[in-house]
A and B are shown apart, each in its own frame.
Chain A
Amino acid sequence: MRINREKRGPGCGEFADEAAMDRALVEAGLGTCNDCRGLDEPRCVEVCPGDLMAVHPETGAVYCRSDADCWDCFACVKACPRRAILVRLPYELADYRAALIPRVHKNSITWSLVKPDGEIETFEVVTRKER
């Protein structure tokens, strides 16, 4: 689970071609978190089935209590109005440099799959019948 607070992508500085990845993420629609200021409860906090997204009691910033407890259900990612959250698989299982970013529309989702070489593949998935 990673919340994007700066303009840069995950693991900045870890890889030589990080800048290309950053550009790909921005192109795929990654935005930055504003802690859902103005809402009673941030969207990602409201929806997480494991109560893992939380508002920090001191700083007021939204964070994930425990990455290891995350089920990768993408509920927070889809709920985020600013597309500021990325599910990041633990390195134990997967290399870091890929991302999956959903843009949620009324009756469908456009998923952008950012691959390690910066290529972006998109998928259009219907979620509801026309309404």
Chain B
Amino acid sequence: MDEIVRENLDCDILIIGGGTTGCMAAVEALEREPSLRVIVLEKAHVDRSGCLAAGMNAINAYLNPGETPESFTRYVRADNRGLIREDLVLSIAELLNSTVARVESWGLPILKDADGNYRRRGRWNIRINGESLKPILAEAARKAGARILNRVVATNYLVDGGQVIGAMGFGVRDAKFYTITAKATICCTGGASGIYRPNNPGAAAHKMWYPPFNTGAGYAMGLRAGAEMTSLEMRFIALRTKDTICPTGTLALGFGAKQVNSLGEEFMVKNFAELGGNGAPTPYRVYGPIREMQLGRGPVFMDTRHLSAEKARNLRAAYLDMYPNIVLYWAANKFNPSREPVEICGTEPYIFGGHCQAGYWIDVKRRTTLPGLYAAGDVAGGAPYKFVSGCWAEGIMAARAAANECAKTPRADSKQVHDEADRVFRPIRRTAAGCGGIAPSEMEARLQKVMDEYAGGVKTYYEMNEASLKVAAEQVERIHRQVRYLLANDPHELMLAHEVIDRVEVSRALVQHLLYRRETRWPAYQTRIDHLELDDINWLKFVNSRQGPSGEIRIIEREYEQIVAGDRYRG
């Protein structure tokens, strides 16, 4: 490889990840203080990156009339089996409605009823026409004056005596090595997919729900810098349509479809009546159907046969706002939801803090445990049920704190920069030198196989025990030792190499979390087959971790604090 071309930049606030949260954080920071120099670092292109690439058809966290931040927090707490960071969830709830109004003023169409009120879709949801939500947010960030660097992949933080002072990365187009110093850094890189073997193999591998391009970079960078993570063991397993892995909320909340097994039984009502039947906490709504399949009563479906032809057409139109490929899939297979029920499945486990609560351990201002570093959105932990609007709320809070607190003029340590450039370009250097090694896709397949088979993937109906997790831990360590043999022919493959390195990093910590929590708090998300009970006496607490200086994962326990009064299992 030729001499590395370098690009050194300096700013006040560096936002890593120009997705839902990152764009909002940029706008908030600049509206507060227009003189700030804000850089948004984005591995793809902000117009269509991250979760919102294809669009959205609902805002899933909104206080409809009659609800309060407290009622929201109670609901989220019960939905997540009595263990959440109530301070974080309350602070999000306070901002939900104003952020939605703000985005509406930027051009987001929100559906209204005859009286001009937002159209509800369930208790906490409103319907939108959100196909262009991402371009709308990107435009707002640009207009506010953020400097956007598209196609730059962040690989590590710049750290000075424990303080985060920016980040490093490489350009996918220009192959440059970027060193960006910042007075404050906000991580908004989203969560991680592709840790486990996906539902579809081969040519359909990326027909997954969570973006295959959100690969846990923020977690990995945090772990490498010694930041504290929480609740990685609370994986998210989504209930999705089979094959296309498309959201089922549209079917259930938008179109009244119920879950049925192959015998036509409404098994949620039959088996989980005391937990609310079809309205049981979210983990049960995936645990229920999985159990039906396990017990031989699959396939399972969302029953759409009550839909009129007109309703079925509206259903397809709603999916065009968010997930167009299911419309194509139904047409190609001549499938008619008015005549046949829609088959559903559980997804591969994803790691993220937007639906569940895996991510950075933060305080109420969204400060991580590393000074100078803030985290918001799917990459931040402790506050599930964030969705789009909660991510915006967190982006706003992180930007406020970052704008207030950014002080010291940072200076990058040249040895750290040199070592990182060396690490980053290693796969390309090895390939150029003709070394043998491992292709990123090969390592990804190996990691996914191990995680699927030993750490509670689709293959074992998400079940795991101490013995299987120990095998997973050992195998993941082995893969981890081999990341130095990765190869890459060009910058695109270099990105793939770093994606798999980051996934391996996340998996190491994840397996330790799964091993540590010896109860089953969230069935399916975290089914410890050797500890099937929920155990509030011993486990009503957070499992956190930090990577030590020699790479070892240390588990830390953190207390749960109840702030909102009431039965923790009722929302």
Contacts and interface: CB of A to CB of B under 8 A. Distances in A.
B37 interface: no
Contact of A125 (B129, B151, B207, B331): B129
A68 B206 contact: yes
Judged by DSSP, the binding face of B is loop
Nearest to A54: B492
Contacts of B44: 48-51
A72 B324 contact: yes
Interface string A51-87: 1001000000000010111111111000100000001
A37 interface: no
A95 interface: yes
B151 A51 contact: yes
Given A49-B49, A50-B44, A125-B131, A113 B327 contact: yes
A92 interface: yes
B332 A89 contact: yes
A116 interface: yes
Contacts of A123: 313, 316-317, 320
B205 interface: yes
B211 A49 contact: yes
A20 interface: no
Nearest to B314: A123
Contacts of B213: 49-50, 71
A54 B172 CA distance: 12
Interface string B206-231: 11100111000000000000000000
Interface residues of A, number: 45
Interface stretch (B157-165, B196-204, B367-375): B196-204
A97 B332 contact: yes
Interface in B153-185: 172
B136 A128 contact: yes
A49 B49 CA distance: 5
B48 A47 contact: yes
A114 B203 CA distance: 23
Contacts, number: 142
Contacts of B172: 51
Contacts of B316: 113, 123
B33 to A, nearest CB: 28
A109 interface: yes
Contacts of B49: 49
B198 to A, nearest CB: 11
B107 interface: yes
A13 B222 CA distance: 53
Contacts of A75: 47-48, 53-54
A94 B317 contact: no
Contact of A94 (B50, B107, B332, B492): B332
A63 to B, nearest CB: 12
Given A47-B47, A49-B53, A71 B212 contact: yes
Given A49-B49, A90-B203, 18 more contacts: A46-B45, A48-B44, A49-B53, A50-B213, A68-B203, A74-B325, A75-B54, A87-B328, A89-B332, A93-B244, A93-B329, A94-B328, A94-B332, A94-B333, A100-B328, A114-B331, A125-B317, A127-B131
- 7 shortest interchain CB distances as A-B pairs: A98-B332, A90-B203, A75-B48, A72-B325, A94-B332, A127-B132, A98-B331
Interface of A: 46-51, 54, 65, 67-75, 79, 87, 89-100, 102, 109, 111, 113-116, 123, 125-129, 131
25 contacts: A48-B44, A49-B45, A49-B48, A49-B50, A49-B53, A51-B172, A68-B203, A70-B206, A71-B211, A71-B213, A74-B324, A89-B325, A89-B328, A92-B202, A93-B204, A93-B207, A93-B244, A94-B329, A94-B332, A109-B320, A111-B320, A116-B332, A125-B317, A128-B108, A129-B104
